Chains A and B, each alone.
Chain A
Amino acid sequence: MPELDDELMERFQKGDEGAFTLLVRRHERPLINFIAQFIGDRDSAEDLAQETFIRIFQAAPRYKRGRAQFNTWMYHIASNLCKNELRNRSRRERHWVDNTVKDDDAEDASAGVESRIANAPADASYQPDVVLERKELRDALRKAVAALPEQYREPLVLRDIQGLSYEEISKVLDIRIGTTKSRINRARLILKDKLKPFMEKL
C-alpha cells in the first residue's frame, strides 16, 4: 500500500529526502497540468511547478499533519504563484499566449492525418474531416478555457481537469462550497456558449 502524503511529509521532516522525491514524483504531473491549464503556458508551468516544490521544501518544517491535506496545500501554493505570474504578465504587457499549451494529441493528429487516412478503419472517428473537426474543437476549447475570467477558470480546471472535489476546491481557493459550485457552473455555461458552433458541426 503506498504511503500517504502526510506520512511522506513526516519522513521528510525527520530528514529523509527520499520521501520528498517520492512526493515530487507523485504530484509533478497533476501539478504541471493544473498550472499549464491555469496560466496557458507550458514552459512557465514547469518553472512555476518547480517553484511550488521549492516552497513546499522550504515550508516543510511548518507543515502539520491533519491541518490541511497535502494536495490542497500544494494547489493553494501553486494557485498563488500562478496569480502572481498572471498579475506580473498583465503589468508587463498583454503578452497572452496562443502558441503555448500544446495539444500533443492535436499535433499528432494533424501530423498523422495522412497515415490515419491510409489505414482508415471503419470507425467514423478516424475520418479525416472528423479528426480535423475534433482538433479544431480542442483548440477552441483550450482558447476558451484560457480566456475565462480567472475566478471561473481556476475552479473549473481544478474540478473538470484535475478532478478535485468541491470541498477540496473550496479549501484551495478559500471560498465557500456554494460559491465554488456556482462559479464552476458559470464557467461551464460560458464554455458551452463558446463551443456551440463547433459542437453543432460534430
Chain B
Amino acid sequence: MNCLQAENHFSAHLEDEIDYRTLKSFEAHIEQCERCQREYVLFAQTLTEVEELPHVEPSPNFTTTLHERLADEPRITVPFWKRLVYGFTLPRWAYGALVLVFASSVTYVVYQRELVDSNRERVVTLEQTAQPPEATRTRGTALPSGFAGTGISSQPMQHYVLKQVSYTGVPTQGGL
C-alpha cells in the first residue's frame, strides 16, 4: 500500500469499517511511514473539530412564522378512498400474498367452470350415443334393402358423430 492508497482508507480505519486484509496492509504502511502517521493524526483531529462545530439554533419565532405560513396554505383534504388506500398499510410480502391468493382464486374458478362445461358436453354425448337403435330407426327414413343388417340406420348424420362405422363388408354394387 502506498501513501495515496492509505489516505483513502483513513475514514474506514477511523470508523472501524475496514476489512481484515486491507487493515493489515494499512497498518503495515502506517507503521513505517511517518508522513502518513502525522496525516492520520491530523485527519482524526479535523474530524473531531467538525463533529464539535456548534449547531445553529432556530430563532425563537421560527415555529410561529411557520404556523403563519401554513395557515395560508390550503388544507389538503384527503378523499375517503385515498385515505383508505394510504391508511391500509401492510408489509410488501403481505401485498404479494394477497395478489397470489387472488390469482389462485380466479384460476380455480375458471378451471372449475371449464371442468363443469366439459363434463356437461360428455354427458350429453354419452346420452346421445346410448339411445336405443330401434328408436332411431323408427324416426329415420327406410334404408335401401342393401343396407339391411349392416347396423347403419337412416338417422341423420349428427346423431352418429361418435359411432365408428366400417364399410368394408357392405355390398356397394358399383356405387360409392
Contact = CB atoms under 8 A, between A and B. Distances in A.
Contact of A50 (B10, B42, B50, B65): B65
A45 to B, nearest CB: 7
B16 interface: no
A150 interface: no
Q: What is the interface of chain B mostly: helix, strand, loop, or mixed?
A: helix
Contacts of B51: 160-161
A170 to B, nearest CB: 14
Interface stretch (B55-63, B96-104, B142-150): B55-63
Interface in A68-112: 101-106
Contacts of A57: 70, 73, 76
B53 A58 contact: no
Contacts of B65: 46, 50
Given A29-B57, A37-B53, A103-B54, A58 B76 contact: yes
Given A42-B56, A64-B89, A189-B10, A160 B76 contact: no
A32 B57 CA distance: 7
B73 A192 contact: no
Contacts of A29: 55, 57-58
B1 to A, nearest CB: 15
A66 B89 contact: yes
Nearest to B74: A58
Interface string B13-24: 000010000000
A156 interface: yes
B157 interface: no
A21 B70 CA distance: 11
B11 interface: yes
Nearest to A161: B53
Interface stretch (B28-36, B78-86, B130-138): B78-86
Interface stretch (A116-124, A125-133, A180-188): A180-188
Contact of A188 (B10, B58, B70): B10
Contact of B66 (A24, A33, A138, A195): A24
A188 B73 contact: no
A64 B95 CA distance: 14
Interface string A25-49: 1001100110011000010011001
A53 interface: yes
Contacts of A189: 7, 10, 43
A20 to B, nearest CB: 8
Contacts of B92: 66
B83 A185 contact: no
Nearest to A103: B54
B91 interface: yes
A147 interface: no
B173 to A, nearest CB: 86
A103 B89 CA distance: 44
A117 B54 CA distance: 22
B4 to A, nearest CB: 10
A199 interface: yes
A161 B50 CA distance: 7
Contacts of A14: 83, 87
Contacts of B86: 13, 61-64
B49 interface: yes
Given A25-B63, A54-B69, A188-B46, 5 more contacts: A32-B58, A33-B56, A53-B70, A103-B53, A199-B46
Give the 10 A-B CB pairs with smallest separation, nearest first. A36-B56, A185-B11, A192-B46, A160-B50, A33-B55, A105-B54, A61-B78, A33-B56, A32-B58, A50-B66
